[in-house]
Chain A
Amino acid sequence: MLKIEDLKVHYRGDLGLVKAIEGVSLSLEKGSSLALVGESGSGKTTLGHAVIGLLPHNAVVAGGDILFKGKSILSMKREELRRLRGDRITMIFQEPSAALNPVFKVSSFLRDVLRKGRGSSMSEKEIREEIISLLRKVRIPSPEDVMEKYPHELSGGMKQRVLIAAAIANNPDLIIADEPTSALDVSVQAQILRLLDELRNKMNLSLIFITHNLGVAAQVSDKVAVIYAGKIMEIAPTPTLFESPKHPYTIMLLKSIPSIRKEIKKEGLAAIPGSLPDLVSPPPGCRFHPRCPMAMEICSKEEPAMVEVERDHFVSCHLYTEARGDRS
């Protein structure tokens, strides 16, 4: 249903081109869920924005394509793309408090979304009923009261539920959730994750779940893609990735999760030494080599190709390419 092919997205900046996405390929089937995991700054949001056609003005698509149901999103006209958004593809954001317009009641926001998706044929009464039923679907208690409230009168978790209600209002095919729980309390995080997973199954939605936390990814995804500095390092079905991670970066990420069963820590990735490379002039060869404990000579010279190490399990690392013999 969604196919991203060798996508390259760069930002024009004062110091030069920021190569935020550099050759990413992914695919997602109807009703399945992909977790996109990586440190802050690795290009997750950029990828999400590219899929929904919301890249900022200084972004340049330097190559590749994004196909949604076989049609190229990148070559769509603005109007066509606008109709797709909020209707077939929707997005949930990281900061629910900032993402809701403060001067509109919950009901007017949801009314706008419904009217946009379904035209003006619905009567006020039908809309009201639909709003209440949506709020029920996202498990908001006493929806008749909540719909008359302004965002600042709701808790963070409630606001995120309202945004989720808006995201599912027009029965979309694809939802992109960009760190939807990072700004919430730990106890609320788990509820929101469960809700998203439940809605996805019930409504047969496809979900791209963006997170910097592998522990969170485990709870909502069928498939995990690990992204580092604008490149995919490893993709595998979720259980496989956790049982037999191959890429050194993935392995370090897994080690940095405090304990999977325990609370989901916000700064799960802080434990990896070093920091993301400069994306204006990224390191040659494997982009991870300056931080990689397994780095070999070839790693700084040649870019590793994507290799299928077992069924549906892809890794981009010289440890698994033909070149492994050159290890020194």
Chain B
Amino acid sequence: MIAAPLWSYIIKRFLLLIPTLLGASVIIFFMIHMLPGDPAQILAGPEATLQDIQNMRIRLGLDKPLPVQYFMFMERLLTWNLGNSLVSGFPITSLIVPRFINTLKLATLSIAISLAIGIVLGIAAALKRNTFIDRVVMIFALLGVSMPVFLLAVLLIVIFSIKLQLFPATVIGSSPSLRHLVLPSLTLGLIGAAPIARMTRSSMIEVLSQEYIKTSEAFGFSRKKIIFVHALRNALIPVVTVAGLNFGYLLAGAVITETVFAYPGLGRLIVDSIFARDYPVVQFGLMMIVALFAIVNTAVDVLYALINPRVRLE
């Protein structure tokens, strides 16, 4: 049951995505054009004459004024007619979409892992405050926050792939199986679990000291019900926000993780394309990432309003 003002809030939030994404498209477009290096010159090759380079420019549409180029870019984006890669010549759609799906899989699994581990550890630490368990969790959280992604990735590869030989370290081919997902998503999930554990712990400790928890006790509810229903529902409110922020770091971390594990995700495709000066692929790839990030953040805002009735839905 969702109340009417909540529906209009949800619709408004999603409509707000339009200007956000438009703004993002402008920034991405001009950012790419400010990068040093002339793609036409690079693509035409070292032997090219000035005329060759000029022809290449015309072929790429780089001779037109920037605003015109921007509208061409938007037209291709909106009609989902992305054109071909400058380097490989393949249709960009066929390059980006499977990679995007792979990154989405990795991100979803990582978030799920970080939520599961973070919330469980956070609750345990809050309930066992100032005990051995609490200290272990806090040390884990500190490690998670300060540990570089690549270091953890390498560590996991050494332990689970080389020593224990449980999971493969790298992906061969373009469609990774669940087994291939384990180590990369564990890398990102463990690192993402740290801030979630910390937030769950502090928020749970605060909620447990509230008067309404005393009310629950005075009415004789079971400890289980008090902790996992009455307290947790409140304690998770700030955790949702942290998880949403985490998602941004996670996408950034995905680039490194994908590289270390040779995982065929969108992050790696973008990095590879930057080095190859394959600008259309970079542009559309970034657009997809930004869109994903914006949609997830909107979803987090909506979720926040759903679990926190005190949010003012203006």
**Which A residues are in CB contact (< 8 Å) with B309?**
102-103, 150, 152
Q: Which residue of B lies closest to A48 (CB)?
A: B218
Q: Which of B218, B225, B233, B234 contacts A52 (CB 8 A)?
A: B218
User: Does A268 interact with chain B (Cβ within 8 Å)?
Assistant: no
**Which A residues are in CB contact (< 8 Å) with B212?**
98-102
User: Does B59 interact with chain A (Cβ within 8 Å)?
Assistant: no
**Which A residues are in CB contact (< 8 Å) with B217?**
54, 85
Q: Across the interface, do A83 and B220 meet the contact criterion of CB distance under 8 Å?
A: yes
Task: Give chain A interface residues in 201-236, CB to chain B under 8 Å.
Answer: none
Q: Across the interface, do A103 and B219 meet the contact criterion of CB distance under 8 Å?
A: no
Task: Give chain A interface residues in 125-170, CB to chain B under 8 Å.
Answer: 150, 152, 163, 166
Q: Which of A81, A84, A101 contacts B234 (CB 8 A)?
A: A101
Q: Across the interface, do A82 and B222 meet the contact criterion of CB distance under 8 Å?
A: yes
**Which B residues are in CB contact (< 8 Å) with A98?**
210-212
User: Does A90 interact with chain B (Cβ within 8 Å)?
Assistant: yes
* Separation of A123 and B234 alpha carbons in the complex (Å): 28
Q: Which of B215, B234, B307 contacts A99 (CB 8 A)?
A: B215
* Separation of A83 and B222 alpha carbons in the complex (Å): 9
Q: Across the interface, do B218 and A90 meet the contact criterion of CB distance under 8 Å?
A: yes
- Given A101-B216, A103-B308, A116 and B211 touching (CB < 8 A)? no
User: Does A93 interact with chain B (Cβ within 8 Å)?
Assistant: yes
Task: Give chain A interface residues in 74-97, CB to chain B under 8 Å.
Answer: 81-87, 90-91, 93, 95
User: Does B230 interact with chain A (Cβ within 8 Å)?
Assistant: yes
What are the interface flags for A96-114 relative to B under an 8 Å C-beta threshold, 1 for contact and 0 otherwise?
0011111110000000110
Q: Across the interface, do A85 and B218 meet the contact criterion of CB distance under 8 Å?
A: yes
Chain A nearest CB: distance from B129 CB in Å? 11
Task: Give chain B interface residues in 282-314, CB to chain A under 8 Å.
Answer: 307-310
**Which B residues are in CB contact (< 8 Å) with A112?**
219, 221, 225
**Which A residues are in CB contact (< 8 Å) with B33?**
none
User: Does B214 interact with chain A (Cβ within 8 Å)?
Assistant: yes
* Separation of A91 and B214 alpha carbons in the complex (Å): 10
* Separation of A83 and B219 alpha carbons in the complex (Å): 9
**Which A residues are in CB contact (< 8 Å) with B222?**
82
* Separation of A208 and B307 alpha carbons in the complex (Å): 37
Chain B nearest CB: distance from A171 CB in Å? 14
**Which B residues are in CB contact (< 8 Å) with A104?**
230, 233
Q: Across the interface, do B211 and A150 meet the contact criterion of CB distance under 8 Å?
A: no
Task: Give chain B interface residues in 159-216, CB to chain A under 8 Å.
Answer: 210-212, 214-216
Q: Across the interface, do A116 and B307 meet the contact criterion of CB distance under 8 Å?
A: no
**Which A residues are in CB contact (< 8 Å) with B307?**
103
Q: Across the interface, do B234 and A103 meet the contact criterion of CB distance under 8 Å?
A: yes
- Given A101-B230, A101-B234, A152-B310, A82 and B220 touching (CB < 8 A)? yes
- Given A95-B211, A103-B307, A85 and B216 touching (CB < 8 A)? no
Q: Which of A52, A82, A99 contacts B211 (CB 8 A)?
A: A99
- Given A152-B309, A152-B310, A102 and B218 touching (CB < 8 A)? no
Q: Across the interface, do A84 and B215 meet the contact criterion of CB distance under 8 Å?
A: no
Q: Across the interface, do B210 and A166 meet the contact criterion of CB distance under 8 Å?
A: no
* Separation of A83 and B212 alpha carbons in the complex (Å): 19
Chain B nearest CB: distance from A155 CB in Å? 16
**Which B residues are in CB contact (< 8 Å) with A81?**
220
Q: Which of B215, B218, B237 contacts A101 (CB 8 A)?
A: B215
Chain B nearest CB: distance from A174 CB in Å? 12
- Given A54-B214, A101-B212, A116 and B230 touching (CB < 8 A)? no
**Which A residues are in CB contact (< 8 Å) with B220?**
81-87, 116
Chain B nearest CB: distance from A177 CB in Å? 12
- Given A93-B214, A100-B212, A116 and B219 touching (CB < 8 A)? yes
For A91, A98, A101, the residue with the greatest tally of chain B CB atoms inside 10 Å of its CB is A101
* Separation of A132 and B183 alpha carbons in the complex (Å): 54
**Which A residues are in CB contact (< 8 Å) with B218?**
52, 54, 85-86, 90-91, 93
Task: Give chain A interface residues in 38-66, CB to chain B under 8 Å.
Answer: 52, 54
- Given A82-B220, A87-B220, A102 and B234 touching (CB < 8 A)? yes
**Which B residues are in CB contact (< 8 Å) with A87?**
220
**Which B residues are in CB contact (< 8 Å) with A52?**
218
**Which A residues are in CB contact (< 8 Å) with B211?**
93, 95, 98-99
Chain A nearest CB: distance from B134 CB in Å? 16
* Separation of A78 and B309 alpha carbons in the complex (Å): 33
Q: Across the interface, do A163 and B215 meet the contact criterion of CB distance under 8 Å?
A: yes
Q: Across the interface, do A90 and B219 meet the contact criterion of CB distance under 8 Å?
A: yes
**Which A residues are in CB contact (< 8 Å) with B310?**
102, 150, 152
* Separation of A278 and B252 alpha carbons in the complex (Å): 59
Question: Top 8 nearest A-B pairs by Cβ distance?
Answer: A85-B220, A86-B219, A98-B211, A86-B220, A101-B212, A91-B218, A150-B309, A82-B220
A: residues with CB less than 8 A from B are 52, 54, 81-87, 90-91, 93, 95, 98-104, 112-113, 116, 150, 152, 163, 166
Known: A83-B220, A85-B217. 11 other contacts (CB 8 A): A52-B218, A85-B218, A85-B219, A90-B218, A93-B211, A93-B214, A99-B214, A101-B233, A103-B309, A116-B220, A152-B310
A-B contact pairs, 24 of them (CB 8 A): A52-B218, A82-B220, A83-B220, A85-B217, A85-B219, A86-B218, A86-B220, A86-B221, A90-B218, A90-B219, A93-B211, A93-B218, A98-B210, A98-B211, A98-B212, A99-B211, A99-B212, A99-B215, A100-B212, A101-B212, A103-B308, A103-B309, A104-B233, A116-B220
